A and B are shown apart, each in its own frame.
Chain A
Amino acid sequence: MKSIYRILVIISLVIMVSIPKISGADGIVRYLLWVLLIITLSSGWNIIGGYAGQFSLGHSVFYGIGAYIFVLFFHSFKIHWALSFFIAGVFSVITSIIVGVPTLRLRGGYFAVGTLTLSEVMRVWANNAPEVFKGGVTGVAVTLPEGWSPIYSYYLMLSLTVVSVAISYFVKNSTLGLKLRAIKDDEDAAEGLGINVLRCKVAALMLSSLIVSLAGAAQITFTAYVSPDSVFGVKRSLEMVLACLLGGLGTLYGPIIGGALFEILARILWGFPHLHLLIYGGIIATLIVFEPRGVIGIADRIRHILKSRLFLR
């Protein structure tokens, strides 16, 4: 089974790498950029939301900080894009510690509401403080380097996706991953067994925010635009959660499957411009109640049913 997964991963990587060579800079590449973005975001969110069970609804904070810091250094200070990228990541990890130490003491719904509030505070602040957040309400159009092509963005996004899935893989199979799963099931019992619960949760949030903020910076290279509502809005936070739930909360491949499904869903929902948030919310609620492990959970159920049928015969 393991080796089948490995072959599938290699094949899909080869396909992903060669797509721009075949299709050129337009069409499918532009579409896949968004797919890669949502996969990266939801596998980043999955580390704190899925593995550790800390349901953050405010990850747009890290996404927005990544985006704004990148714009500040790259666009305003004219620093090389790779370095700006790096600075954005560092800055977001520091923010995650400042944010995480108080909010991660909250449990369950309180943590979700706390992080949601935080992202709204950031959005309102960004809208009203053009001296800090360049452009204020209207946002900023970013000038990309001479000759920058969406293909560069594509490879940037693809490597970021690979890195974030790799980080997820290593976390899942590490002692940190095991401790996080224990914390998800019972915080008190985990603490009583010698786990420093707060430290583990903060570590998970740091990794999670690093991935999400780098994605926030990388998307600037193909949207060439940043505004408070586009990066700090609740919509972004919800999208990560939804993609993760669609694929499978707390699983390695869930965010990949979920991200791909989400982009398809998003295209369909373009037809209902004022209803889409309502529909997202409905889907999130339904999945949490009936199958938090999404597509992977449903596939598991079907496999179990088939197995027991075959066994009975």
Chain B
Amino acid sequence: MLEGANISKFFGGLAALKNVSFSLNMGEIVGLIGPNGAGKTTLFNVITGFTPPSSGIVRFKGRKISGLKPHKICKLGIARTYQIVKPFSNLTVLENVVVGMVSGRRKLSLSKARSEALEILKLVGLENKESIQAKNLTLMDKKMLEFARALATEPEVLLLDEVCAGLNPAEIHRAVQLIKNLQKQGLTIFWIEHIMRAIMAVADRIIVLHHGEKIAEGTPREIANDSKVIDAYLGEKYLLG
């Protein structure tokens, strides 16, 4: 579905990504973990077109997408959320989602987009906050709004950048449930996360980055027992419950 081959990205002399390859199958949840500065968000930026790769190629459904502009990549069916939330702060919650609907793949009319946006807001639990300005939301609600906005573009692949960071256990539970539901609806999900409890529970596969290189890939259980991953990131043997 979505694959990257030998992706490298240099910022000056610094290699943020070195020869990273990955591939996502349809309907899969793939986790992307690693220490801070490992290049996880850079990889997302490369996939979505915000930073073109120095070398390597990204393909989506067999078509080369590296080199396309972000808005084109979004229209092909790849949407993302941001680690540092980027809501349109002066727009209402509903308008935020409507923006995704009128400019994503479907280009709905404003009135049609409004009614469909309400459906999506219900899905993420923001249905009673539709007319609040986005800047006045709590962090949890802002993260849910990012979800809703990304879903509004009707993606086939959803890239999630630390959706659980800064949330309390109950909120993490809600976010994880939502991600599981999206998988059931047929979405393919690529998910950066530091909260191991959350990602180990739902990911089909996990990719580990360290200093820009892929050091491991496998099922959550394999990753938890991988000595390289334990050295670089997990710190001690991570026990799966």
- Residues of chain A touching chain B, judged by Cβ–Cβ distance below 8 Å, are 174-175, 178-179, 181-182, 184-186, 188-197
Contact = CB atoms under 8 A, between A and B. Distances in A.
Contact of B74 (A179, A181, A194): A194
Contacts of B69: 191, 196
Contacts of A184: 90
Contacts of A189: 82, 86-88
Contacts of A194: 71, 74-75, 100, 103-105, 153
A179 B48 CA distance: 20
A200 to B, nearest CB: 9
A184 B31 CA distance: 33
B71 A196 contact: yes
Contacts of B79: 192-193
Contacts of B90: 181, 184-185
Interface of B: 48, 50, 69-71, 74-75, 79-80, 82, 86-91, 95-96, 98-100, 102-105, 109-110, 149-150, 152-153
Given A175-B110, A195-B103, 6 more contacts: A186-B86, A189-B86, A192-B48, A193-B71, A193-B100, A194-B104
10 contacts: A179-B103, A185-B91, A186-B88, A190-B88, A190-B99, A191-B70, A192-B70, A192-B82, A193-B153, A194-B74
A254 to B, nearest CB: 15
What 9 A-B pairs are tightest by C-beta distance, nearest first? A194-B74, A185-B88, A189-B86, A194-B104, A195-B103, A194-B103, A175-B102, A191-B70, A182-B99
A184 to B, nearest CB: 7
A175 B74 CA distance: 18
Nearest to A199: B71
A195 B110 contact: no
Contacts of B75: 194
A178 B104 contact: no
B71 A191 contact: yes
Contacts of A196: 69, 71
Nearest to B150: A193
Nearest to B86: A189
Contacts of B71: 191-197
Contacts of A188: 50, 70, 86
A194 B103 CA distance: 5
A198 to B, nearest CB: 9
Nearest to B159: A192
Contacts of B98: 178
B50 A193 contact: no
Contacts of B70: 188, 191-192
A192 B103 CA distance: 10
A193 B70 CA distance: 8
A203 to B, nearest CB: 13
B97 to A, nearest CB: 10
B148 to A, nearest CB: 11
A185 B105 CA distance: 22
